[in-house]
Amino acid sequence: MMTITLIWGIVITVCCCLWIIFGIRRRKTGEPPLENGLIPYLGCALKFGANPLEFLRANQRKHGHVFTCKLMGKYVHFITNSLSYHKVLCHGKYFDWKKFHYTTSAKAFGHSSIDPNDGNTTENINDTFIKTLQGDALNCLSEAMMENLQLVLRPPNFPKSRSAAWVSEGMYAFCYRVMFEAGYLTLFGRDLTKTEAQRAQILNDLDNFKEFDRVFPALVAGFPIHVFKTAHQAREKLAEDLKHETLRTRDHVSELIRLRMFLNDTLTTFDDMEKAKTHLAVLWASQANTIPATFWSLFHMIRNPEAMKAASEEVNEALMNAGQTLSFEGNLISLNQTQLNDLPVLDSIIKEALRLSSASLNIRTAKKDFTLHLEDGSYNIRKDDIIALYPQLMHLDPEIYPDPLTFKYDRYLDANRKPKTTFYSNGVKLKYYYMPFGSGAMICPGRWFAVQEIKQFLILMLSYFELELVESHYKCPLLDQSRAGLGILPPLNDVQFKYKLKQLRRCA
């Protein structure tokens, strides 16, 4: 017994020595200060995962604006000075933007590699997104979303249709249901012959989406989906409903999905289920951040009487100028791009809500050894290391945003009530001061559409309903930190609100 214990003791000591000698990276001249962490492979991952903002602030105090942390076997260089963000983006030729994203997408959604270098596809997916989510394509998407939102929000889908009674519901659950259904119809089209059956299918998909999305942070962290049996089943069911044979029976399928179907059929070697899983990735990208962003925009607007008043006035004026009359049975409200873009108060409310709730991690991988030249120094970076920006540090910096934890609906309005675009750090005007949609080559291609659809939702809520919180002095819910790094954080708990149809003009 003694001998076995002794042998184990020696083995463990030798492993520890080997790890200390060979496993721990040593900082070389010109490299940023280094935190290896105490746990082999994980490094600082547990501390980072527990509270990324506090972890980064503590390291910033200890090391300054640039430092390196070992996380899950990777060396990540955090650049935390917002004045340096534009400098980082100037080093694009040294970065591989795609490697991390392609690998993560394949792992999480279960399709083969979409990296053209791996030979399964020749589609340039970035080009497809830009072509189909921006410019002229945005007009069609936006029109379809406005129509679908009204289909979901207006009678007969509205519970207790036409009654003047208040309906109470969890606000997050409400935003989830409305945005998911309207967004799904907008991207994947409508089955005009089976409206009710399709609605039931979408609501079923909604439950599956929630189940799958719940484990998404674990999938990104590298856990295999087989560990999560129900989430795995949910993912397969979601993909089943996105197979090409089903989508071909739909009307008004978005340009994004039509083009992806065509390219998937011509440029890839994927089987039917894999093609469907690449559509599931698009569904996730279009919903996972938009839903919590919609919640926070509505919540802060309703909770702040001044914001609510300013937003209502702006919306009433915009509808009047556009000659739109509100009625439940009559025409749907419709605003074109120019009219939607000319709503600075709503823009400011949405920006402020996203500033307070966004926690995305912007990642690039170094293609080769190079020197990163920043505002406050130059740093040597090794091949395959990761450069990371965590814009939440900037969004909550009191020097840039005084009283940073308070929602101020007009923070992004200037003295003339026009969009405010000048923000300063250390007396220097910032090039980047608002980054919930990422940055550089990986910036969200759906950002214009995302803002349009949240705006449309707010316009319709203000136009058709009276809105109140059930408890008027409800404290702001905490952010769900388990999703930090992935984008907009949802609330940790739901908030009850009530809504009632406004007494609108009836059509003859």
Binding residues for heme: 444
Instruction: Give the end-to-end CA distance of the chain in Å, rounded to a whole number.
Output: 93
- According to CB under 6 A, which one of 293, 333, 353, 389 is a site residue for ligand HEM? 293
> Which is closer to ligand HEM, CB of 37 or CB of 270?
270
Q: Per CB under 6 A, does 132 bind ligand HEM?
A: no
Query: Which residues between 302 and 321 bind ligand HEM (CB under 6 A)?
Result: none
| Listed ranges 68-76, 162-170, 280-288, 464-472: which one lies at the site for ligand HEM (CB under 6 A) | 280-288
- According to CB under 6 A, which one of 32, 52, 445, 485 is a site residue for ligand HEM? 445
> Which is closer to ligand HEM, CB of 37 or CB of 183?
183
Query: What are the residues whose beta carbons fall under 8 Å from the beta carbon of 421, sequence distance 6 or more?
Result: none
> Which is closer to ligand HEM, CB of 115 or CB of 494?
115
Could you tell me the CA-to-CA distances from 489 to 266, 293, 296, 379, 470 in Å, in that order? Answer: 37, 8, 9, 32, 23
Q: Per CB under 6 A, does 290 bind ligand HEM?
A: yes
Q: Per CB under 6 A, does 264 bind ligand HEM?
A: no
- According to CB under 6 A, which one of 57, 63, 101, 500 is a site residue for ligand HEM? 101
* Pairing mode of beta strands 428-429, 424-425: antiparallel
Query: What are the residues whose beta carbons fall under 8 Å from the beta carbon of 503, sequence distance 6 or more?
Result: 164
| Listed ranges 108-116, 287-295, 318-326, 368-376: which one lies at the site for ligand HEM (CB under 6 A) | 287-295
Angle at 377 between CA 371 and CA 380, to 5 degrees: 25
Query: What are the residues whose beta carbons fall under 8 Å from the beta carbon of 446, sequence distance 6 or more?
Result: 129, 133, 285, 286
Site string for ligand HEM, 228-257 (x = CB under 6 A): ------------------------------
CA nearest 56: which of 47, 358, 357, 86?
A: 47
- According to CB under 6 A, which one of 178, 285, 318, 430 is a site residue for ligand HEM? 285
Q: Per CB under 6 A, does 437 bind ligand HEM?
A: yes
> Which is closer to ligand HEM, CB of 68 or CB of 360?
360
Q: Per CB under 6 A, does 392 bind ligand HEM?
A: no
Query: What are the residues whose beta carbons fall under 8 Å from the beta carbon of 457, sequence distance 6 or more?
Result: 149, 175, 178, 179, 294, 297, 298
Residues of each annotated binding site: 107, 289, 444
Q: How many CB atoms lie within 10 A of CB 486?
A: 16
Tell me the C-alpha distance between 473 and 466, whole Å: 18
Q: Per CB under 6 A, does 438 bind ligand HEM?
A: yes
Q: Per CB under 6 A, does 129 bind ligand HEM?
A: yes
Q: Per CB under 6 A, does 449 bind ligand HEM?
A: yes
Site string for ligand HEM, 344-373 (x = CB under 6 A): ----------------x-x-----------
Q: How many CB atoms lie within 10 A of CB 169?
A: 16
- According to CB under 6 A, which one of 446, 485, 490, 491 is a site residue for ligand HEM? 446
Query: What are the residues whose beta carbons fall under 8 Å from the beta carbon of 270, sequence distance 6 or more?
Result: 111, 112, 120, 121, 264, 278
Q: Per CB under 6 A, does 391 bind ligand HEM?
A: no
Q: Dihedrals φ, ψ of 20, to 5°?
A: -65, -40
| Pair of tokens at residue 18 | 């080997």
Q: Find the residue with minimal CB distance to ligand HEM.
A: 446
Residues of each annotated binding site for substrate: 107, 289
Q: Per CB under 6 A, does 491 bind ligand HEM?
A: no
Q: Per CB under 6 A, does 107 bind ligand HEM?
A: no
Q: Per CB under 6 A, does 487 bind ligand HEM?
A: yes
Tell me the C-alpha distance between 327 and 331, whole Å: 7
> Which is closer to ligand HEM, CB of 68 or CB of 392?
392
Q: Dihedrals φ, ψ of 238, to 5°?
A: -60, -45
Q: How many CB atoms lie within 10 A of CB 43?
A: 23
Tell me the C-alpha distance between 322 and 156, whole Å: 26
Q: Per CB under 6 A, does 450 bind ligand HEM?
A: yes
Q: How far is the CB of 409 from ligand HEM (least distance, A)?
A: 18
Yes or no: say if 396 and 85 are a contact pair by the CB < 8 Å rule: no
Q: How many residues make contact with ligand HEM (CB under 6 A)?
A: 23
> Which is closer to ligand HEM, CB of 233 or CB of 337?
337
- According to CB under 6 A, which one of 189, 436, 490, 491 is a site residue for ligand HEM? 436
Q: How far is the CB of 444 from ligand HEM (least distance, A)?
A: 3
Yes or no: say if 246 and 261 are a contact pair by the CB < 8 Å rule: no
Tell me the C-alpha distance between 45 and 460, whole Å: 43
> Which is closer to ligand HEM, CB of 43 or CB of 183?
183
- According to CB under 6 A, which one of 179, 253, 356, 488 is a site residue for ligand HEM? 488
Buried b (16+ CB within 10 A) or exposed e, 2-40: eeeeeeeeeeeeeeeeeeeeeeeeeeeeebbebbbbeee
Q: Per CB under 6 A, does 442 bind ligand HEM?
A: yes
Give the footprint of ligand HEM on this chain (CB under 6 A): 101, 126, 129, 133, 282, 285-286, 289-290, 293, 360, 362, 436-438, 442, 444-446, 449-450, 487-488
